[in-house]
Chains A and B, each alone.
Chain A
């Protein structure tokens, strides 16, 4: 019983204490504001500023990826679905394609739709994609195409989180437990 109380107290302290204690990786001081020039899944030119006003999660991937990308997005969707509706409305997830030649706005729209209304696909030309990936220091590389013309893309496995003003907050790595991810998303939304 005492242990439980103590655990509760520690949790309260941790939650109440500071802005700095993300359970995932803090990137507040090392990553720039959310900014880019890309094309959304309606084919419209968009800027980073267009996505201010909501908590924004950003993931770099490609739709030809059958395993890591859909699983990562589905788990994010799960985490979001556990929140109450009001909180959910405060969140958007940007799926930035690192494979623009296959990921047209049409392909992206159908793809992100499967994960929930919070998900938006973004694509662009190579220079625009490179500008975003360089900005957030993520790499990507294409494998050689096989006899069917299919190629794979190695890409960042991280999810970047930004607050409503577009300031970088935390980064989710593959190794972070889902419970930590959920707690940090919730806290970021609550931060107002």
Chain B
């Protein structure tokens, strides 16, 4: 834990800047991102500091393919895109760089499949809270989404 300290400190210092940047993005994003629609955004989280999982549905309403390439949140130090899978009785999880969404297509991030992995809380969060997240796309679009913090028992 001790060797993580510098990272945490830098993280804290950056947080203020990140928040202002996020506010700008939130304003810009609404107009920009009308071709993408996110529904049912939930962040499954437990007490403590174990990582959380982000689930949602995302529809590409435009007539061009777009790729989701990542996400970030001021509430977490790190957000990754992951896929869980099962082979021969083994549960696997690995990070992915991007996921393409064809024109008109709707993809689902759901339990035991694709999920956002939210690592190390920058602010305390508990069930019923909301977390601001920005989804990042290949065409530089950034889509702000509010995730509702829920218990995994509600999934």
Contact = CB atoms under 8 A, between A and B. Distances in A.
Contact of A66 (B4, B89, B118, B153): B118
A69 B53 CA distance: 11
Interface stretch (A15-23, A37-45, A150-158): A150-158
A77 B115 contact: no
Main secondary structure of the interface of B (DSSP, over half): strand
A126 interface: no
Contact of A157 (B77, B90, B119, B152): B90
Interface residues of B, number: 31
Contact of A67 (B78, B111, B153): B111
A178 B117 CA distance: 25
Nearest to B43: A66
A179 interface: no
B93 A67 contact: yes
> Chain A interface: which size bin?
20 to 34
A131 interface: no
A64 B48 CA distance: 11
B47 A71 contact: no
Interface of B: 4, 7, 44, 46-48, 50-53, 77-78, 82, 84, 86, 89-94, 111-112, 115, 117-119, 151-153, 155
Interface of A: 61, 63-71, 73-74, 77-78, 107, 110-111, 113-115, 138-139, 143, 148-150, 152, 154-158, 173-174
